[in-house]
Amino acid sequence: MVAENENITENGSIRIANEVVAVIAGLAATEVEGVAGMSGGVVGGIAEMLGKKNLAKGVKVEVGEKEAAVDLFIIVSYGIAIPEVAYEVQNNVKKAIHSMTGLDVIEVNVHIQGVQFPQEEKPEPELQPRVK
């Protein structure tokens, strides 16, 4: 069973599933420059990189009635200052969750799971005619 955040109003109740908070956090994290992607965990010593379709993966949330705590597992781009990226991720995630759900985010823990190196572009070989 998925735990949910529930607010009771005069018109009824509003429930926000943990999965929704996780998707908001994942999207907010990937918006930060220097974040190469979310990590699905470490498999065989290599961080598994996830695409944008799996934004809730690489995110663990605990949601109470009024507060939330978030753990993010990310991969950063090579050459970027990791502490600065982590700080920006914390701020962006906290702001996004609070503005969209009204929950107070008490902590955002950023776990750096790997570094993505730039891909070298291989020049395409020139096609030589087979016959002269």
Please report, for the domain that includes residue 8, its CATH number: 3.30.70.1350
Instruction: Give the predicted TM-score (pTM) of the model.
Output: 0.75
pLDDT in tens, 61-108: 999 889 999 999 999 999 999 999 999 999 999 999 999 999 999 999
Q: Is residue 123 part of a domain?
A: no
pLDDT at 11: 83
Distance of alpha carbon 132 from alpha carbon 130, whole angstroms: 7
Q: Is residue 49 part of a domain?
A: yes
Give the residue numbers spanning the domain of 71: 4-116
Q: Is residue 126 part of a domain?
A: no
Confidence of residue 45 (pLDDT cuts 50, 70, 90): very low
The single-letter DSSP state of residue 2 is -
Q: Is residue 56 part of a domain?
A: yes
Decide: 92 and 28 in contact? Cβ < 8 Å: yes
SS3 56: coil
Q: Is residue 124 part of a domain?
A: no
Q: Is residue 132 part of a domain?
A: no
Total domains in the fold of the chain: 1
pLDDT in tens, 100-129: 999 999 999 999 999 998 876 666 666 677
Q: Is residue 131 part of a domain?
A: no
Q: Is residue 30 part of a domain?
A: yes
